[in-house]
Every structure is written in C-alpha cells, then in structure tokens.
Structure 1
C-alpha cells in the first residue's frame, strides 16, 4: 500500500517559498532561470536531473518562480521513495507520496500519479533518473516510470524538463542555473524521442554554462 500525500495549501506553499528565497540569498551567489511558456489550465510534470540534497528545494523554488501563476499550478506533489517517507513522515504533508521500486505497489503509485495529474493545476515533481548522478554527466538515462504514468493521464498535461547546473566561477558561493525545456503535452508523448530531446538539451545547457570547449561535446 502506498503512502498518499497531503499537499501544501497555497498559504503554506507561498510561505515556504518565501523562506527558501531568504535561505538561497545567503547560501548561493545567484539563481538564474531560463524560463519557458506555461500552458494555462493544464496539469504539469516538472522533471529535473537528480544530483544533490538541494534538488527538491530547487524544484520548489522553480515552481514558485515559473509555474505558480494564474491558470497555472495550484498544488505540488512529489514522488518519493517509501523508505524515505517512513523515516520522515513530514514529507507527506509537503505533497510527497510513496513509490517502492521492485514491489507490487509501484503500479498503485503510478496510477495515483496519473489520478493527481488528471486535475488541472496539479503539478508532479519527478526525477526520471531514479538515482543520484553528477550534474555534469553528458547523458541522462531514464528509468521507465514516466512511460508508465503519462499514457494513463486523463486530461491536459504539460511536461517540463530543467537541467539544473551548479558552478562557482568567480564567487566563493555557488550559483545555480536552471535550463528549462518545454517537452510538449501528454498527447505528444513518446518516451524514446523525449529522452533524446532532453539529452540534447542537457548537453547544450552544459556547454552554455560550464564553458567547455566544443571538442568535449
């Protein structure tokens, strides 16, 4: 059986985002977002690369800055490992629901995600890699969870990707660069084509941010 979520109310979502903003001003040099258009009256999946403790907080920040607008997102959900939710029960009250890879309940988790995304304004934060890897890897390998969820979504759902890259350059504090990509809607979904598109975007994001020479790409 999965652990279902209790998403934050708008008041607590905005309050949490405000507090995060204060923390980020102290912790990071700058937060640079390359935005993309948000389709109104859709549900949303925000996919990000998964490489650090900060990933969930950055996704939260990105939601508030880009997706939380009139006709956009209203509630945030996160698919989290069941063992993490059992250790940290408070995650449920921040929108997390459980997934337990390798167990029969994983199908229930996918169906719950699709049920959530059937309602306009709901947003799911999703990490398709399924594991931590450096933000500087040049190829991102997806697990198949996304391919199980998207085809069973009923309603209009827009998909986003963000390549989040951290660098220091001239500062003693790191800067975070959010390179967003509009991945179309659930009606356009093709798992293999999406993975190729995201990998091309991620390599280009690295090249723009990290300043590698062309030979390394």
Structure 2
C-alpha cells in the first residue's frame, strides 16, 4: 500500500489551485451542520463520492469545520495516476489484494490520533448524486470493529444545484452518528440522512 505523506508545499499548491478553480466553477460552498465534536477524538467521515471535486471539498471541511489533519482513502490504481495527491494526505487501498487489510489497519492507526480526520467513500466507487441507496463495502468493519471510543463518526452528504444561477452551489450536510458501530447500521443511517438532505435541498 501507499501511505499518506504531508508536504506543506504540495498542500499549499493543492489548496490554492483548487480554490482558484472553484471560484470560477461554483457560486459558493455552504455547510449545513450542527455537528459537535470533542477535541480529544479523531473523525471518521463517511462521504458520498460523485465528482472529481470531492477530495478538495472534504479537505476544506477538515480545515474549516473539523480542524484536523486530512487523510483520505483512494483506490491504488487511481492514486498511482495522481501521485502528487499522496503528499496531500491520500493513502491507497487495493481491492482483492492482501494489502487490503493493511490499508484498513493503517486507517485505524491514523484514527488513534485525535488530531486526524479520515475520509472514506463507503461505496468504493463514483456514483451519481441522484443514487440515494448505496451499498457500503463490508471491509469498513475492519476499521470500526473493537474499541472505537477514540474517534467520532460523521456522515456527510454533498449535493450540487444551480438554484437559478449560472454557476452551481455545493451544499454539504453533516450529522453526528451515534448508533451501533456496524456497517449495516451506519449504512441504514446514511440512507435516511441522505433522504433528509435531499428533502431540505428541495424546500
């Protein structure tokens, strides 16, 4: 597997490059949340994955909302095509490979530090934002099994709409998860939260 590295120069370039692009592409980014997190816990963020922009938006969340060090899991074949992302906190996972378990264990290790945030796209693939029912990958159990009091789980739903403007707005909805820490329970809660977000989006 490819472990995350954090290089300040690369992070500076990544942040400013995407900030400039987003200025021309989007009207604004809004965050709808009442999430409350203790400072002594890390964050495991479950996020829908529907666009090229998702990594940048979750990076901005890590800075502006969570104030934690950004890490995100990416398929190894995709990361190797964009290796500069590794120096911005991206680490790899390879399906159907013995490195798969190493990546999950590595993510668990990152979460042992309360200053960290780990982003996971639970479906493991890009899906349209209109698909509200998503099947979570079972391997997530390897991260949330056992002692988990040291990190908080947060659900994130990213939705894009134009609302009558030339440029779209990205709205990010966040919610604390406090149910049973199993893939099945989190998946059910995520589906319910997603539907709630879509309803708010259309009000």
TM-score by length of 1: 0.84
- Partners of 1:159 and 1:173 lie apart in 2 by 32
How many residue pairs were aligned? 202
What is the alpha-carbon root mean square deviation over aligned residues? Answer: 2.2
1:200 aligns with 2:192: yes
Report how far residue 130 of structure 1 moved: 0.8
Partner residue in 2 for 1:124: 118
TM-score by length of 2: 0.90
Report how far residue 177 of structure 1 moved: 0.8
CA contact under 8 A between 1:78 and 1:124: conserved in structure 2?
yes
- Partners of 1:133 and 1:105 lie apart in 2 by 25
Partner residue in 2 for 1:163: 157
- Correspondence 1:29-178 to 2 at 5 A: 29-35=27-33, 36-68=35-67, 73=68, 75-152=69-146, 156-178=150-172
Partner residue in 2 for 1:215: none
Q: 5+ residue gaps in structure 2?
A: none
Report how far residue 122 of structure 1 moved: 1.1
Report how far residue 3 of structure 1 moved: 1.1
- Partners of 2:126 and 2:134 lie apart in 1 by 11
Report how far residue 50 of structure 1 moved: 0.7
For each residue in 1:45-76, what CA deviation from the matched residue of structure 2 results, as whole angstroms up to 9, or x when unmatched?
Answer: 111101111111111112222111xxxx2x21
- Secondary structure of 1:110's match? helix
- Secondary structure of 2:145's match? helix
